[in-house]
Amino acid sequence: MALIVQKFGGSSVADAESIKRVAKRIVDTRRAGHDVVVAVSAMGDTTDELLDLAGQVAPVPAPRELDMLLSSGERISMALLAMAIHSMGYEARSFTGSQAGMITTADHGSARIVDVTPVRLREALDDGAIVIVAGFQGFNRDTRDITTLGRGGSDTTAVALAAALDADVCEIYSDVDGIFTADPRVVPLARKLERISAEEMLELAANGAKVLYIRAVEYARRHGVLIHARSTFTSNDGTYVLGEGMTDPRQNSEGAEMSDAIGMEEPVVAGVAIDRSQAKVAVVGVPDVPGSAAAIFTLVARTGANIDMIVQNAQSAQPGRTDISFTLPKQEAVEVVKVLAAEQESIGFENLVHDDQVGKLSVVGAGMRTHSGVSVTLFEALSKNGINIDMISTSEIRISVIVGENDLDEAARAVHTAYGLDGDVEATVYAGTGR
């Protein structure tokens, strides 16, 4: 008998029918002899609708009240789900985040989990009940107020519950089959991965992949939680996300030899991610003296912008000057450009270029540590397709390039093929969001 945490996203509990289907799935797990703890998101687009409603009564809703409002979405789905399970003859108890002992920081709208005290959940489990917990919310001890964890926070709720209860696995259900080598809507030959390291998953998520939330994967890695990302609509295995030292539970029974063989086949590149949310700002003709970069990025930092890549040209067209380019989220670029333009004279640069028709393509793979020449494949694939590279950056296990936004999809397909990631058949593409 295992303890299994299951998380169901908004699209999995969008209406009464879906809730009944999810209830059946939970009951099936219980029938198989396992203890089940469920974290559930608000139904469908409830959170967006509530946000919209808040915006209609107040231009800037009070953060405390906004959390009161948004946390109600998950309260609806948790109660309905518990009722549905009851009517199938099984005991289920629903708990809000605070009842479940989700202790968070006080930051409304972006609270972080600092402790989980699942006393009531353990009691319920001991009584043989299925436990349903409202995702995305918690409670701060000092303010004694309800908090929310930020959009997509139910993944984190699930992982935190799994860690606190020492669950065997945290199953994250959504409307896609698992984690793919690329977004199947863009790369039709993308393949579902059997497993991926948490490290690679974090890089993919940080660079545009939307299946799992970064914070949840980080939490899982830190606390040694095994994640299984899978579909609500099939009983197929999805993708296991393995932290350091973890093994795919399916490999254990097959013996060491088998896992060695699988290890050898592990490709250098795990996946390709694309990100359309970034813009590029180039500060052209900056005086090439100590302090220029500090002056620019002090201003940028003051706007709160989140810089991704930074490139400084060794030499601009003019002696004594250099170009500094960086990328950041599109919405933040507008403000940054305004702030920099106002200081053109004091910094002494010649020109500002703001380009929001760019896209970032990243290839991620832990194998890059031990294989050389991985980047050549990327550059060749792009060159063969006549795609120009604007900026390049790398980490230990990632290579990213900035290309024109219109080239991004083609670039992803070409690169996916070049790294040998293509499957034999087109992936089934649901209208799904991965939530």
Under the rule (CB under 6 A), what is the footprint of ligand ASP? 9-10, 41-42, 47, 73, 135-136, 151-154
> Hey, how many other C-beta atoms are within 10 angstroms of the C-beta on 33?
8
Give 180's DSSP letter.
B
In the list 6, 41, 71, 322, the residue contacting Mg ion (rule: CB under 5 A) is 41
Residue entry with tokens 């939490």: 219
Q: Which does 243 bind (CB under 5 to 8 A by kind): ligand ASP, Mg ion, none?
A: none
Q: Note whether 118 and 131 are within 8 A (CB).
A: no
- Kindly state the smallest distance separating residue 359's Cβ from Mg ion, in Å: 26
Question: The sheet that has 35-40: what strands, in order across it?
Answer: 92-95, 130-134, 35-40, 3-8, 169-174, 227-231, 239-242, 195-197
**Which position among 6, 8, 10, 93 is part of the footprint of Mg ion (CB under 5 A)?**
10
Q: Which is nearer to ligand ASP, 136 or 173 (CB)?
A: 136
Least separation in angstroms between residue 240's CB and ligand ASP is 21
CB of 66 to ligand ASP, least distance (A): 13
The interface with Mg ion within residues 43-82 (CB under 5 A) comprises: 47
Q: Buried b / exposed e across 104-125, counting CB within 10 Å, b at 16+?
A: bbbebbebbbeebebeebeebb
Q: Does residue 434 touch Mg ion according to CB under 5 A?
A: no
Backbone angles phi, psi at 271, to 5 degrees: -170, 170
Judged by CB, which is closer to ligand ASP: 28, or 65?
Answer: 65
* Three-state secondary-structure class, residue 401: strand
Which has the closest alpha carbon to 398: 112, 147, 201?
201
Answer with the entry of ligand ASP, Mg ion, none that 151 interacts with (C-beta below 5 to 8 A by kind). Answer: ligand ASP
CB of 101 to Mg ion, least distance (A): 22
* Tokens (6 digits) for 80: 């309905």
Place of tokens 């289920």: 92
Residue 152 binds which one of ligand ASP, Mg ion, none, with CB within 5 to 8 A depending on kind? ligand ASP
Question: One-letter amino acid identity for 7?
Answer: K
Residue nearest to Mg ion (CB): 10
Rounded to whole angstroms, the Cα distance separating 347 from 291 reads 9
Nearer to ligand ASP, 46 or 278 (CB): 46
Q: How far is the CB of 149 from ligand ASP (least distance, A)?
A: 8
* CB of 45 vs ligand ASP, minimal distance in Å: 8
Regarding 208 and contact with Mg ion (CB under 5 A), the answer is no
Q: What is the DSSP letter of 192?
A: B
Closest residue to ligand ASP: CB criterion: 154
Residue number with CB closer to ligand ASP (34 or 151): 151
Instruction: Find the largest Cα–Cα distance for the chain.
Output: 79
154 vs 362, beta carbon nearer ligand ASP? 154
> What does the binding site for Mg ion look like in residue numbers (CB under 5 A)?
10, 41, 47
